[in-house]
Structure 1
Amino acid sequence: MLFNCLLSKVLLAWFFLNSDVGLGFVKGFSEMFEKLLGFANEGTNFVFGSMNDQGLAFFFLKVLCPIVFISALIGILQHIRVLPVIIRAIGFPALQSQRHGQTGIL
């Protein structure tokens, strides 16, 4: 059972890193987060204006503000009950593979 789980993870990693479809999925996911960080950057520029151009408070403007933006987005997704559905969809196969692994040990 452990070998099957390890093999499935290796095959999944190979699929995402070596196939055109897998690389397209990873690129699309990456571009989505780049857009989100771009939105956070635009919001920071809107609120703090020229402070960003002068290089003042780099850590605050480039690191903490995007973290607050992403945290607020996650909070909104949690409130409208979208995030639990996504978590269940992603976590269900992992839960099943763990159950199969535990059954194999017994």
Structure 2
Amino acid sequence: MSELSKMNKLSFRSIVGNDLGPICQLPQNKEELFFMFPKADYPLSVEQLQTVVENRSDSTVILLDNKIVGFANFYEVKENEYCSIGNIIVSSNFRNKGIGLFLI
């Protein structure tokens, strides 16, 4: 399947409670977790992620064929002016394929 075909199957939605476990599996090592969530301890736990989700805005998952392949949220939002995106991660199996661009 071509990259373009795969990208057409991408979707996004707000997270739901049972997304936390799969999101915690996205960082594959301490370095990846640091870039996603610098204050977290590896391996990322549901409790750590739940805390950040509760304190941030618009936590979103990226789905490919209904499987979570990415996650991000906003940590600062000034309506009609700017927002700051944080806690970004894309599954290591799907990096460099335009998923981050799709997210933005």
Question: Do these two structures clear the TM 0.5 threshold for a shared fold by scoring above it?
Answer: no
Normalised TM-score (structure 2): 0.25
- More strand per residue: 2
Normalised TM-score (structure 1): 0.24
Larger radius of gyration, structure 1 or 2? Answer: 1
- More helix per residue: 1
